[in-house]
Amino acid sequence: MSDGLTVTREMFDDVMVPNYAPGPVIPVRGQGSRVWDQQGREYVDLAGGIAVTGLGHAHPELVAALTEQAGNLWHLSNVLANEPAIRLAAKLVELTFADKVFFSNSGGEANEAAFKLARRYSWEHAGSHKHNIVACSNSFHGRTLFTVSVGGQQKYREGFEPVPGGIKHVPFNDIEALEAAIDDSTCAFVVEPIQGEGGVTPAKQEYLERARELCDQHQALLIFDEVQSGVGRTGELYAYVKYGVTPDILTTAKALGNGFPIGAMLTTDKVAKSLTVGTHGSTYGGNPLGCAVALKVMDIISQPQVLAGVQERHDLMVSGLQAINEKYDVFADVRGMGLLIGSQLNDKFQGKAKDFMTAALEEGVLALVAGPNVVRMAPSLIIPVEDIKEGLARFERAVAKVVASA
Ligand SMILES: *Cc1c(COP(=O)(O)O)cnc(C)c1O
């Protein structure tokens, strides 16, 4: 290191707040879908951060976009406009349903903006009684106090109460429950088209269609949290295109910056009007560095051949995982869309997803979990076929190891 300090994994526990429990090695370099740790050991990356590095590591065009911007201008604040932010917003407007964009630094902040906008819009158009947000059990929307409150996992709220009120939770994919929950006091229904953290569970087609109808009927806004499902992950630029159901507000982050922190909230002209001057903001949101990188990300990922490649890779990944399952009988289900794939463990391996992730790391492949019973994979959208094959071969050795020790 430049300051002469030799960094070890043990030091993490000495100097960091103990909210994370990172694995035993420290990667120091990445190229495409491979990374190397401090000891020079190489790994196939089937995790992509957590569905973040959609174009892999050190993509030359992204490195060029970042370094070029780094030599020009880092920051102005939102007191002045900057070119990369305007270019990126124009690109997002061109490529999606949206007319207007707000930039944040993360997915949680994009959702925070979405929820605040929904409240503000309803307050302006109907009055303060129309403030209820309906959200799904098991959903994940971020770690700020508002987003853990809207999120459908009690464990993320525990001990942080009192949390903001006016939030109702309904079981995901349950149309009747949604019909009962959305009424004239509802300002918004928020849903992940594919629940990511909750276990890689896609919404049913009829569910999202009915959600759109109910929101229209009760003048509530439909918010899609596409922080994980967006930016090409499903093989469409955003999952809403795949479903043919258009939200009023969409949030995006994770792969948008390919690892450079940036998020965005997209919306229509009509709804955007409620965020008048001074109602919301962010010091770093829309900064030139993040926007320059994200613009290049969108340029590349929106290319039809890149999106088409996601489906081919999906097929390879799923058939590979099913072949492993035929040999070892560990999964009850392999599901997901595009390159967001969840393998649900069967009854014999309940609660053991982390064991599979740990064994995978030992065998030289990065994988993820989504809750205690799902092994999740979210590799680069342009991962070479060779790396998929090698990654799955290593993952098979990891599965064999877990099965042997069970
Ligand atoms: C990761 C994630 C978030 C939170 O994003 P951060 O950048 O960690 O704040 C929100 N919603 C969904 C669906 C996510 O997957």
Q: How far is the centre of ligand 1, averaged over its atoms, from the C-alpha of 71 (Å)?
A: 30
Of 254, 260, 355, 387, which residue is the catalytic one? 254
Q: How many other β-carbons are positioned within 10 Å of the β-carbon of residue 241?
A: 17
Average pLDDT (87-106) is 98
pLDDT band at 146 (very low <50, low <70, confident <90, very high): very high
Q: How far is the centre of ligand 1, averaged over its atoms, from the C-alpha of 286 (Å)?
A: 18
pLDDT band at 3 (very low <50, low <70, confident <90, very high): confident
Q: Is 257 in the pocket of ligand 1 (CB under 6 A)?
A: no
Q: How far is the centre of ligand 1, averaged over its atoms, from the C-alpha of 161 (Å)?
A: 21
pLDDT at 210 over 70: yes
Residue 219 CA: distances (Å) to CA of 130, 171, 185: 10, 22, 9
Q: Is the dihedral of CA 47, 382, 312, 294 positive or negative?
A: positive
Distance in angstroms (rounded) separating the CA atoms of residues 44 and 53: 13
What integer best gives the mean pLDDT of the chain?
97
Q: Residue 150: what pLDDT?
A: 98
Point out the ligand 1 atom lying closest to the alpha carbon of residue 111: 10
Q: How far is the centre of ligand 1, averaged over its atoms, from the C-alpha of 196 (Å)?
A: 9
Average pLDDT (245-250) is 99
Q: Residue 2: what pLDDT?
A: 65
Average pLDDT (164-171) is 98
Q: Is 192 in the pocket of ligand 1 (CB under 6 A)?
A: yes
Q: Residue 108: what pLDDT?
A: 98
Task: Confirm if 171 and 137 have CB atoms less than 8 A apart.
Answer: yes
Q: Is 227 in the pocket of ligand 1 (CB under 6 A)?
A: yes
Task: Please give the distance of CA 100 from its chain centroid, rounded to a whole number.
Answer: 21
Distance in angstroms (rounded) separating the CA atoms of residues 196 and 49: 13
Q: Is 261 in the pocket of ligand 1 (CB under 6 A)?
A: no
Percent of the chain with pLDDT over 90: 99
Two structure tokens written together for 239: 């999952």
Residue whose C-alpha is closest to residue 367's, from 340, 349, 336, 404: 340
Q: How many other β-carbons are positioned within 10 Å of the β-carbon of residue 13?
A: 11
List beta partners, residue 336.
Answer: 341
Annotation says 254 is catalytic: yes
Look up the pTM and report it: 0.98
pLDDT at 1 over 60: no
Q: How many other β-carbons are positioned within 10 Å of the β-carbon of residue 166?
A: 14
Annotation says 97 is catalytic: no
Q: Residue 5: what pLDDT?
A: 87
Backbone angles phi, psi at 340, to 5 degrees: -125, 100
